Structure 1
Amino acid sequence: MTTDVIDSGIGTIRAGILGGGFMARVHRDATRAAGGALIAVATTDPDGSVRASAALGAARAASDASELISSADIDIVHVCTPNASHVPLATEALRAGKHVVCEKPLATSAADARELVALADQAGRVAAVPFVYRYHPMVREARARVRSGELGDLLSLDCSYLQDWMLLPEDDDWRTRGALGGPSRAFADIGSHLCDLVEFVTGDRIAALTARTRTVFGERAGHPVDTEDIAALLVETASGAIGTLLVSQTAAGRKNALTIELHGSRETMRFAQERPEELWLGSRRESRMLLRDPGVSSSDSARLQRLPAGHPMGYQDAFDAFMADVHSAVAGGEPEGLPTFADGLRAAELTEAVLASAADGGRWTEVAA
């Protein structure tokens, strides 16, 4: 069985990136790994565009976002800018006939996300949101095993996404201010990934939730804070399973600890993103650790395994596989599990349900399927 990433079977896709930070670098690397070319970069001002273009190795700098979006030699626009700018930039790109990859959250309101989904459908363009944790091979292995019935009926779940980059009062970021980041920070930023992974692996939607949130510091580095650091949820799925989800950006020592544990009537499955080569399986008779190996994996997992067993794969590999699927979709393919603007809308709906519940003292809130 081959361990190479599936070939998209298309020519060079020409990309333009809006933004010049960490995520822009990740998108750049993934674009090149997928066989694409980075043509242009634009930031908030011409000088910044020149600096970012040089740092990212783009063919040129665009003076602003509109110049990049309107360029005839750009096929796909990557939106890697602060959250509040996602909707206008993605809208402009779709109306210009471009394919779009937009960082999450897709929008800071469900209404805006819904309009973007409709616009993408009308334009007939590929519109993707990088919920890239779907692309860890062992996540796909867990999903395949759930689908085959190995888990049994989903009874409960215990999941979390923990970071510590906002632990101290001097830790600050544009995301702490709702005008730039939107009304939610911790949940919209990383809780969206957690919920997407739970629903993707189980095929079971969160139907209702009760939530509490906490803002640890009302001020950071002299700036008032109006977004949450922590969100704790009790959830019920459409099938009747119940579970807990804890999201925090103030968990000391936890760097990117995304973990899902699913308790079924036959088996338990546990995936931890910081140990992406492993899938823990537990039953009444035994517990065992399944290690990534394309020779014995499900077909959907094996297609994402670009390296042989024993050669660790990680976050950038997952992002690269996501981008390969985006390019495949641009060529007319229908790659399995590609997260689209519809998935971005789902995250926005869940975010609004969390905020509404927390604002009402943890009231049980239904979430549309």
Structure 2
Amino acid sequence: MTFTKAPLRAGIIGGGFMAETHARAIRAAGGLVSVAAASSPERAAAAQASTGAQHAANSADALIRREDVDVVHVCSPNASHEEYAIRALEAGKWVVCEKPLAVTGESAARIVAAADIAGLTGTVPFVYRFHPMVREMRAQIADGALGTPSVINGSYLQDWLADAEITNWRVDPAQGGRSRAFADIGSHWFDLLEFVTGDPVVRVSAQACTAFERRDGSAAGNEDAMTVQFTTQQGVIGTMSVSQVSAGRKNRLHLEVSGSDASFAFDQEQPDSIWKGTTSGFGQVVRESPMLSADAARLSFLPAGHPQGYQDAFNAFVADSYAHFGDSLPPGAEHGLPQLADGLRAAQICDAVLASVDGASAWVAIPAAFTEQPHRQQSTQQSQ
């Protein structure tokens, strides 16, 4: 495919931290932040200023209709994702949609179906896949370093809602969805688990808690924390905890995979290394390009000792997304790119977890995972 216009022009729906993160990544990928939109013209003007967009649109629909937008980045509240993503796809735009892709599996499936009908594709920012040491951990596990896998454990802990006086649109189920902690960050953990091991989760048993009955004077609408036990397709058992009320934990995603020959662990707050242990000893595997697998080395662009972090991972995600849209992604790299089907997968796991909570921690099966076939059709705007 040959583009007639470059660079790709992005429209961002929504404001705040995530919109700014997307904007920085768009520029790093060589894209242009063309238009910003939010819930009102006033907020759109603020989003234009915070993202550095060239223009502000009075509504999401107005942004989607613009001819100077090739890719729509959906960074609005979760409940609006389905509507905006489908409208963008129907308008011939590629989509980068924040996670959760949608608030239910059925809603996410409609987005995937709309992309298939449009002959286009989209991506979902499960960006922890783009830490080089995650790729190294994945490569070593794929090479059989684990031996016989035995158990998986971990957690994703934050503290930004550890005060009952703090609230946010995510606390409101009408905007954020029925699940908050799990849908927002637990989805990252399970995506990383399946990505690193290649072993899909087939059933879950969960329990949830709400730490505060009320937040800022209003009834709390979704969970603050959750624990989940699970079984994978290969019969490996595991547990994980997710919390947004764990004082002192800012963004601690920890995943450990154990086996008969070796165990591996990744800690997002120390992303430049992984822990590797065997029965004869343990230590850190650090990000040093000559030692890395090819997939990890591709994403390791700074010399060892110069830390790469969250924004670097996000930049790499958007760069690969844009290369994918332009049919210029290196061979094999598409296997690491989280696409709409991965967003659907996360929504299906969330549905199962909530069903288990409703059933007093009953075991609930998860539908079989599937792989989205990448579409190579041009964006309508690019072909004009």
TM-score, normalisation: structure 1: 0.96
User: Following the alignment from structure 1 to structure 2, what is the Cα–Cα distance between the partners of residues 346 and 24?
Assistant: 24
2:85 paired with 1:86:
no
1:94 touches 1:119 (CA, 8 Å); kept in 2? Answer: yes
Match of residue 247, structure 1, among 238, 242, 245: 242
Do the aligned partners of 1:177 and 1:224 also contact (CA within 8 Å) in 2?
no
Partner of 2:267: 272
Partner of 1:77: 72
1:310 maps onto 2:305 in alignment? yes
Aligned equivalents of 1:15, 1:99: Cα separation in 2? 9
| 8 Å Cα contact 1:137/1:301 also seen in 2 | yes
Counterpart of 2:31? Answer: 36
Amino acid at match of 2:361: G
Superposition deviation, residue 55 in structure 1: 2.3
The whole-number CA distance in structure 1 between the counterparts of 2:45 and 2:181 is: 32
1:78-117 equivalences in 2 (<5 Å) = 78-117=73-112
Q: Which portions of structure 1, spanning 4 or more consecutive aligned residues, are displaced by more than 6 angstroms?
A: none
Superimposed CA distance per residue, residues 277-322 of structure 1 (whole angstroms, 9 cap, x where no aligned partner): 0110000011011110112100000101121111100000000000
Is the contact between residue 151 and residue 267 of structure 1 (CA under 8 Å) also seen in structure 2? yes
1: CA distance between counterparts of 2:155 and 2:246? 11
Counterpart Cα distance in 2 of 1:171 and 1:155: 40
What letter matches 2:61 in structure 1?
S
Who is 2:358 aligned against?
A: 359
**Corresponding position of 2:142:** 147
Equivalent in the alignment of 2:342: 343
After TM superposition, the structure 1 stretch with the greater mean CA deviation from structure 2, 48-57 or 317-326, is: 48-57
Rounded Cα–Cα distance in structure 2 between residues aligned with 1:305 and 1:125: 29
Q: Deviations over 1:92-149 (max 9, x none)?
A: 1000000000001111110110111111122122310000000000000000001111
Q: Decide which of 315, 322, 327 is 1:320's aligned counterpart.
A: 315
* In structure 1, C-alpha distance between the alignment counterparts of 2:173 and 2:319, rounded to whole Å: 33
Aligned to 1:299: 294
Residues 22-55 of structure 1 show CA distances to partners (whole Å, capped at 9, x for unaligned) of: 0000000000000000011001111211122122
Deviation at 1:153, TM superposition (A): 2.4
Q: Does 1:165 align with 2:160?
A: yes
Q: Note the C-alpha offset of 1:78.
A: 0.3
Give the 5 Å matches for 1:227-242. 227-242=222-237
Q: What is the rounded CA distance, in whole Å, between the counterparts of 1:333 and 1:113 in structure 2? A: 27
Q: CA deviation at 1:20?
A: 1.3
- Residue aligned with 2:291, SS: coil
Deviation at 1:332, TM superposition (A): 1.2
2:47 aligned with 1:48, yes or no? no
Amino acid at match of 1:159: G
Give 1:276 deviation, angstroms. 0.2
Counterparts of 1:26 and 1:82 in 2: how far apart (Å)?
16
Which consecutive unaligned segments of at least 5 residues does structure 2 have?
369-384
Equivalent in 269, 272, 276 of residue 281 of structure 1 = 276
Partner of 2:377: none
Specify every segment of 5 or more residues in structure 1 that has no aligned partner in the other structure, as ranges. 1-9
Report how many residues are paired: 361
- 1:190 aligns with 185
2:213 aligned with 1:208, yes or no?
no
Q: What corresponds to 2:375 in structure 1?
A: none
